[in-house]
Amino acid sequence: MKFPEDLKYTKDHEWGRPDGNRLIAGITDYAQDELGDIVYIELNDKGSSIKQGEVFGTVESVKAVSELYAPASGTIVEINEALLEAPEIINKDPYGDGWMIVIEMEDRAELNNLMDSQEYRTYVEKEAK
Amino acid sequence: MVIRHNVTRSTELLEPVVYSLSDHGKNKVNPPRPFEAIELGDVDRPLVNHDLPDLPDISEVEVVRHYTRLSRLNYAIDLGMYPLGSCTMKYNPKISEKVAAKIGNIHPGDTEAMQTILGLLSNLEAHLEEICGMDACTLWPAAGAHGELTGMMIIKKAMVERGEDRREVLIPDTAHGTNPASCTIAGFKAVKVPSGDKGYLEASTLRKLINEDVAALMITNPNTLGIFEQDIAEISELLHENGSYLYMDGANMNALMGIARPGEMGVDCMHLNLHKTFASPHGGGGPGSGPVLVKDELAPYLPMPWIVKDEEERFRLLTNAPQSIGMIHSGLGNLSVLMKTLSYISSLGGKGIREAAEVSVLIANYMKKCLKDSYYLPYDTPTLHEFVLTDKYQKERGVTTMDIAKALMDFGFHPPTVYFPLVVTGAMMIEPTETEPLDEIERFIDAMKQIDELSRKDPGAFSSIPRATPVSRVDEVWAARRLVLTWDMVESIMGEPPSK
């Protein structure tokens, strides 16, 4: 199970990679492993605005349908269209090609609400019931 | 494809659709042409269809064999145990079928005969109110989720009448999966509430989350872990102090009936799943029925028609209740299911209803005790009519919940509910019900132990399981990504490579 050091994590198992005022976001290795094979993804429109903790899309696997929660507030400036055709990319490379959206952040300070790699690892170990 | 020439008496082959068996002149019986006799009047002539309906041209014996073969590809409660958690797949007594079939002969236009039907329905309302400890009832919702929606619409209406615009409905993470959708469609915002480490919603959690925008809490009791919501009294007090309603999803009422009444727990509105708790065929075997029960405060909003008695003590259907949410179903709901329920309740009586609940809890607990050394039990809080195990031990050997479910099919059982509730990783939710004979229970326990044994000795074997079913291991990922919805599409995908 991978927990890259340079990412920020939500309690709902999304990750965010800050890049200036932008934040690239997706779901974690743990999340994709829990979901199993992902068969469908729906993402909010490019250009729409979102608040931290609000739903920015839905993923569906053979086991469950899960909502995706935004790690930061702002405008969705890019979505990963490749996933719509081939959602299995998320399983193969959750932190790389499996990225989902890019948010132009309103307030970078919001990232302080998220967990770092070590905190998230502990959180996952505790959650795995 | 030339499947029609593939003649077999076994159930191993794909059964083609009945239309592909059709050939000109096979049917020697002329179909009736009832529509010719109708006086068309002002109907726009070009819109009239003079063609016969496109029915397959096929002989009677072929029709019978086609459907009999299909039925042999299926699994049913009449074949064996069906321990699908939170679905209460109990045996459906045949006497209820007979009762319902008799009622089916009555024409709704026969006002005298309809007095009998309305009397029976009124009687059923009274029985359900008694079992649940509620004041009023509507029998019309067509199934559980329809009942949830009706209940949420009633609560929405109550908010409107109170002049309030509360938007939130709180839903514990151990509630039924349909709850968030029902409250969203009714115009509320679903807010997920975490259950505690003990597997039930703690009043202290609710105290932190409750606010002036909360219209209701939707709780499933006992919840999908099979655990009784033991803080329910305190929870209902908290909600009522806040002006919020307590909604109970009664899908798991099989554990409570005759023992504990939701009305006395402070529940304001709830639904029942008659097809689960009161034994009418479901899960492909028949329609559902999801009556909603309310306390007096919410009764004015119940959907119409209402069954009432006029001055001459005759039943009639009231259709002008001013505060009602309106109509939610045509006719008298799913009448046949309502009649089966009345038959079931009348056959069992008060004592029998209670005994059914007690035995369902006893069997589930016996099974849990026998299996908890082989399979991980994530919550040790006492459970009622169902329980949740996981694949934690087996997963270390590379065998998952899905593998275990498939293996159970080779032992002749329907698998339990898998990967739900979502709060538990690799969940297997098992509900045996009270109608299973002890022999069948022992056989299931033995099968589960043998599967655990196989996961130690030969975990690789699971990839080719099941073998004893009409269709062996299916590629679920490929099936979900590549939706095939018609027979024509089956031909178009033959030969495509699988996903992995």
The tokens for A128 are: 């795995």
Degrees, nearest 5: CA angle B65-B413-B479: 70
Which residues are within 8 A (CB) of B330 and not within 5 positions of it... i.e. 6 or more apart?
none
Residue B144 has a pLDDT of 95
Measured between beta carbons, the chain A residues lying within 8 angstroms of B425 are 34, 128-129
Q: Please state the pTM of the whole predicted model.
A: 0.87
Question: Is some CB atom of chain A closer than 8 A to the CB atom of B196?
Answer: no
Q: How far is CA B464 from CA A73, B94, B450, B469, in A?
A: 47, 38, 16, 12
- B50-85 confidence digits (pLDDT tens): 777 788 899 999 999 999 988 888 898 999 999 999
The tokens for B108 are: 């709704």
Measured between beta carbons, the chain B residues lying within 8 angstroms of A63 are 418-419
Give the right CATH number for B91-469 from 1.20.140.10, 3.40.640.10, 1.10.3720.10, 3.40.50.880. 3.40.640.10
The residue of chain B with its CA nearest to that of A54 is B191
Q: Taking CB atoms and an 8 Å limit, are B499 and A129 in contact across chains?
A: no
Measured between beta carbons, the chain A residues lying within 8 angstroms of B393 are none
Q: Which of A62, A87, A129 comes nearest B378 by C-beta?
A: A129
**How long is chain A?**
129
The residue of chain A with its CA nearest to that of B425 is A129
Q: What share of chain B is helix, strand, coil (3-state, %, to 5)?
A: 40, 10, 45
Nearest to B11 by CA among B55, B69, B66: B69
Q: Taking CB atoms and an 8 Å limit, are A39 and B480 in contact across chains?
A: yes
Measured between beta carbons, the chain B residues lying within 8 angstroms of A129 are 378, 390, 423-425
Tell me the ipTM for this assembly. Answer: 0.76
Amino acid at residue number A110: E
Average pLDDT of chain B, as a whole number: 91
- Say if residues B419 and B450 touch (Cβ distance below 8 Å): no
Q: Taking CB atoms and an 8 Å limit, are B481 and A64 in contact across chains?
A: no
Measured between beta carbons, the chain B residues lying within 8 angstroms of A91 are none
Every domain of chain B and the residues it spans: 3-73, 91-469
Q: Taking CB atoms and an 8 Å limit, are B424 and A62 in contact across chains?
A: no
The tokens for B253 are: 């009422």
Question: Is some CB atom of chain A closer than 8 A to the CB atom of B424?
Answer: yes
Query: What domains are there in chain A, each with its CATH number?
Result: 8-127 (2.40.50.100)
How far apart (Å, rounded) are the C-alpha atoms in residues B70 and B243? 53
The tokens for B357 are: 């609940």
- State how far Cα B212 lies from the chain centre: 33
Nearest to B258 by CA among B84, B85, B434: B434
Q: Taking CB atoms and an 8 Å limit, are B425 and A128 in contact across chains?
A: yes
Measured between beta carbons, the chain A residues lying within 8 angstroms of B378 are 129
Confidence category of residue B1, pLDDT binned at 50, 70, 90 = very low
Residue B43 has a pLDDT of 67
Confidence category of residue B489, pLDDT binned at 50, 70, 90 = confident
Question: Is some CB atom of chain A closer than 8 A to the CB atom of B399?
Answer: no
- State how far Cα B455 lies from the chain centre: 32
Is pLDDT of B34 > 60?
no
The tokens for A122 are: 């502990």
- A46-59 confidence digits (pLDDT tens): 999 999 999 999 99
The residue of chain B with its CA nearest to that of A66 is B422
DSSP B397-461: TT--HHHHHHHHHHTT----EES-STTSTTEEEE---TTS-HHHHHHHHHHHHHHHHHHHH-GGG
Strand, helix or coil for residue B39 = coil
- Say if residues A36 and A63 touch (Cβ distance below 8 Å): yes
